[in-house]
Amino acid sequence: MTKKSKENLDKKATRAKKADLNLDEKNLNFTTSQKQNLKTQKSQKTAKSKKTSKENLKANSRSNFTNQNKPKAQKQNSNETNSQSLNSNETNSQSLNSNELNSQGQNVVSAPLLSSLNSTQKLNLLDFTADELAKIISPMFRVKQIFEWIYQKYADDFSQMSSLSKEMRAELSQKFHFSPLQCVKFEQSKDKSIKYLFRLNDGLLIESVLLPMKEEVLDENGKRVKSPRYTICVSSQVGCKSGCSFCLTAKGGLKRNLSAGEIVGQILWIKKQQQIPYAHRVNVVYMGMGEPLDNLTNVSRAVRILSDNNALSISPRRQTISTSGLAKQIKELGEMNLGVLLAISLHAVDDELRDRLMPINKAYNIAAVMEAVRGFPINQRKKIMFEYLLIAGVNDGKRHAEELVRLLSGIRAKVNLILFNPHEGSTYRRPSVEDAVKFQDILSAKGITCTVRQSKGLDISAACGQLKERTQK
């Protein structure tokens, strides 16, 4: 190749390189501009998408809330339209129309609640755990907000739930309520225990009791050293069919069972009225009007609702279910493995006397009751409580104490001696404190934990059914 030809090739290469550089520059400018435009478009699209998503969230939330209460045909049409909702109505429908089981094999939403979803009457929110309510109202964080207002902030009605939209508050008030009872009367004792008389929404009356167990302790600077301790005694039925001869409630017979929400409502109302903070736990005893195990379905639901961390968060270990001795239901309760404590109202050590005091003994005698108790699951740190009502000249003698020791052999037991609380029309008498202590000493000498319950409310109709009876006269 000549020198001239080489120079020509170099010139062509130089021109080509310049052309490529110019093209790259153009492309670079184009790309930068394009990127800026794309960035602007993306930003606008994202903002629009967020706005749309927010609107869809509100719409779908209202749709999920509303559609659960529509007729079936309307629900299906609505589900087709709103197939992209956060909690699809198809999924909710499947959950609500099947006996969905949790990890313990228990129904998440019970049949009575399912049947009430299409009811024209307002549903009681206190009948639901948060997980159950989330199958009717979505998304879940709204349910948690509702529960916070009810159980932690003690709201009186939906209008106070300011974190919810006005539309949602209005719709909630049309479909639900959380006021299953109202207090019509209460009496406070010198010992600060309080007896409440509640009227249910159907006009029937029940009783509850607040028992202050330990007073608040403050140091010299007014700082709390020890918090007060409370026990709330709740009713599980309107009336009772057990027919115990010493009980005033039994005289009126059984009217009906309480719903889980009516049981929960007693505790919530008392905590609110006494301004007991949400974080301050209370002990609950199912020992008021009624036989709790005759209403096992709703009592067990109340236990789960109360223990729900989104609700009052009262541990099952702080809840005690008392029974007159329904052996079959004691076994059923044990199989549920709720973690609750068990109290047995024994009151006699032989079947002849117990038949007279407690007619239920004819169906489940002492041997059957003790067999059921021995099979009941209990935390190794806990004991089975035996309630023993001391009645002067009836069951408070030395032989009764010695026979009780024999019955409790091999059982992790704690005996709570109760001095009979007299009421009008009763032929039974209250024993002396001295006789109660003698009875206690016999049990304690045999290694059985035994206490004499401090009688509270003797001046305020504290015995079961007394306030209701006096009010109705």
Contacts 24+ apart (CB under 8 A), 199-205: 200/238, 200/258, 200/262, 204/238, 204/255, 204/256, 205/238, 205/468, 205/471, 205/472
Q: According to the model, what pLDDT value does residue 116 have?
A: 56
Q: What is the pLDDT of residue 426?
A: 83
Whole-number Å distance between alpha carbons of 153 and 146: 10
Q: Where are the domains of the chain?
A: 55-68+86-98+107-179, 204-472
Task: Please give the pLDDT value at position 455.
Answer: 62
Interval 172-185 mean pLDDT: 96
Binning pLDDT at 50, 70 and 90, where does residue 470 land?
A: low
The confidence score (pLDDT) of residue 188 equals 93
Residues 439, 396: contact at Cβ < 8 Å?
A: yes
**Percentage of the residues of the chain whose pLDDT score is greater than 90:** 61
Q: What is the pLDDT of residues 183-231, one digit of tens each?
A: 999 999 988 999 999 999 999 999 999 999 888 777 788 787 787 899 9
Query: Which candidate, 357, 463, 352, 459, places its Cα nearest to that of 418?
Result: 463
55-68+86-98+107-179 and 204-472 share one fold: no
Instruction: Please count the CA atoms within 13 angstroms of the CA of 59 that sit on its side-chain side.
Output: 13
Q: Which residues are catalytic?
A: 207, 464
Distance of CA 414 to the CA centre of its chain: 26
Question: How many whole angstroms separate alpha carbon 336 and alpha carbon 261?
Answer: 20
pLDDT band of residue 328 (cuts 50, 70, 90) is very high
Confidence at residue 228, expressed as pLDDT on a 0 to 100 scale: 84
Higher-confidence residue: 255 or 425? 255
3-state secondary structure of 256: strand
- For the full predicted model, state whether its pTM sits above 0.85: no
Is the model more confident about 433 or about 462? Answer: 433
**DSSP string over 233-254:** EE-SEEE-SS--TT-SGGGG-E
The number of helix segments (H) and strand segments (E) in the chain equals 15, 16
Match domain 55-68+86-98+107-179 to its CATH number in 2.30.30.90, 3.40.50.620, 1.10.150.530, 3.40.190.10. 1.10.150.530
Model confidence at 248, pLDDT cuts 50, 70, 90, reads: confident
Which CATH number is 204-472's, of 3.40.1350.10, 3.20.20.70, 3.40.640.10, 3.40.50.2300? 3.20.20.70
